[in-house]
Amino acid sequence: MNAKAIRRNLYKVLRKTGVPKNRISEEASLREELFVDDLDMNCFLFYLETRFDVAIQNDEIPQLTSVKSTIDYLQKHCA
Give Cα separations from 24 to 44, 53, 55 (angstroms): 14, 22, 24
Number of folded domains that form the chain: 1
Domain around 30 = 3-77
CATH label of the domain that carries residue 70:
1.10.1200.10
Q: What is the pTM of this model?
A: 0.91
pLDDT band at 79 (very low <50, low <70, confident <90, very high): low
Q: Residue 78: is its pLDDT beyond 90?
A: no
Give the chain's count of helices (H) and strands (E).
3, 0
Q: Do residues 71 and 26 touch, judged by C-beta distance below 8 A?
A: yes
Q: How many CB atoms lie within 10 A of CB 76?
A: 9
